A and B are shown apart, each in its own frame.
Chain A
Amino acid sequence: MSDFMHSGWALYIAGMTAISLIACLALLLFASRRKVMAKDNTTGHVWDEDLREMNNPLPRWWMYLFVITVVFSAVYLAFYPGMGTFKGTLNWTSMGQFEAEQEKARVAMGPVYARYQTMDAAALARDTQAMGIGQRLFLNNCAGCHGSDGRGSKGFPNLADKDWLGGNTLDTVKKTIVEGRVGMMPSMAAAVGTAEDVKNLANYVLSLSGSAHNNIAAELGKSKFATCAACHGADGKGNALLGAPNLTDNIWLHGWGEKAIVQAVTAGINNVMPPQGRLLTPEQVHVLGAYVLSLSQSATVASQ
Chain B
Amino acid sequence: MAVSKTTTPAVVGADDSSEQVVSLYRAQTKIYARAVTGWFATWRWVLVWATQLLFYGLPWLHWGERQAVLFDLEARRFYIFNLVLYPQDFIFLTALLIISAYSLFLFTAVAGRLWCGFACPQTVYTEIFMWVERHLEGDRPKRMKLDAGPWNLEKIWRKGGKQLIWVSIALWTGFTFVGYFTPIQTLAAEFQSLTVGPWEIFWVLFYGLATYGFAGFMREQVCKYMCPYARFQSVMFDKDTLIISYDAERGEPRGTRGRKTDLKVAGLGSCIDCGLCVQVCPTGIDIREGLQYECIGCAACIDVCDTVMDKMQYPRGLIRYDTQNGLQRHLGRQEVFKRILRPRVLVYTAILGVLCFAFLWGLATRDSFKVNVVRDRGALARLVDNGWIENVYRLQIMNATEQPQRFRIQPSGMEGITVEAPLELVLQPAEARWVPVAARIPPQVAESAGPGSHPVQFVVDRLEIRQPAGGTAAPTAGGAAETVLDTLREKSTFIVPR
Contacts and interface: CB of A to CB of B under 8 A. Distances in A.
Contact of B20 (A31, A35, A150): A35
A97 interface: no
Interface stretch (A9-17, A18-26, A141-149, A176-184): A141-149
A229 interface: no
A170 B27 CA distance: 74
Nearest to B11: A39
Contact of A301 (B4, B17, B436): B436
A98 interface: no
A34 interface: yes
Given A41-B6, A151-B392, A60 B383 contact: no
A61 interface: yes
B381 interface: yes
Interface string B382-403: 1101000010111000000000
Nearest to A40: B10
A33, A59, A302, A303: which has the most chain B beta carbons within 10 Å?
A302
A34 B221 contact: no
Nearest to B434: A139
B24 A148 contact: no
Interface size class of B (residues with CB under 8 A): 35 or more
B116 interface: no
A7 interface: no
Q: Which 4 A-B pairs have the closest CB atoms?
A: A153-B379, A148-B436, A153-B382, A149-B436
Given A32-B24, A34-B21, A41-B8, A300 B393 contact: no
Interface of A: 31-41, 44, 54-63, 135-136, 139, 143-154, 156, 250, 256, 299-303
B74 interface: no
B437 interface: yes
A37 B18 contact: yes
Contacts of B382: 147, 151-154
Nearest to B19: A35
Contacts of B23: 32-33, 57
B483 interface: no
A63 B23 CA distance: 11
Contact of A55 (B22, B28, B423, B475): B22
A302 B437 contact: yes
A62 B26 CA distance: 9
Contacts of A148: 376, 392-394, 434, 436-437
Given A39-B14, A60-B27, A153-B382, A33 B22 contact: yes
A256 B21 contact: no
B247 interface: no
Given A37-B17, A54-B6, A153-B378, 7 more contacts: A35-B20, A40-B16, A54-B4, A60-B26, A150-B436, A154-B382, A256-B383
8 contacts: A35-B21, A37-B17, A37-B18, A38-B20, A40-B10, A55-B24, A59-B224, A145-B379
A302 B21 contact: no
Contacts of A58: 24-26, 225
Contact of A145 (B7, B26, B378, B381): B378
B430 interface: no
B225 A57 contact: no
Interface of B: 4, 6-11, 14-28, 221, 224-225, 376-383, 385, 390, 392-394, 409, 420-425, 434-438, 475
Contacts of B14: 39
B221 A147 contact: no
B19 A152 contact: no
B26 A59 contact: yes
B1 to A, nearest CB: 15
B399 to A, nearest CB: 15
A149 B20 CA distance: 80
A233 to B, nearest CB: 25
B293 to A, nearest CB: 10
A62 B225 contact: yes
Nearest to A250: B385
Contact of A147 (B379, B425, B434, B475): B379
Given A37-B16, A39-B16, A59-B221, A156 B378 contact: yes
A39 B378 CA distance: 76
A135 B11 CA distance: 81
Contacts of A149: 392, 436-438
A31 B19 contact: no
A151 B382 CA distance: 9
A147 B392 contact: yes
Nearest to A147: B392
B9 to A, nearest CB: 8
Contact of B19 (A44, A56, A147, A256): A44
Nearest to A56: B4
Contacts of B424: 302-303
A148 B382 CA distance: 13
A54, A151, A250: which has the most chain B beta carbons within 10 Å?
A151
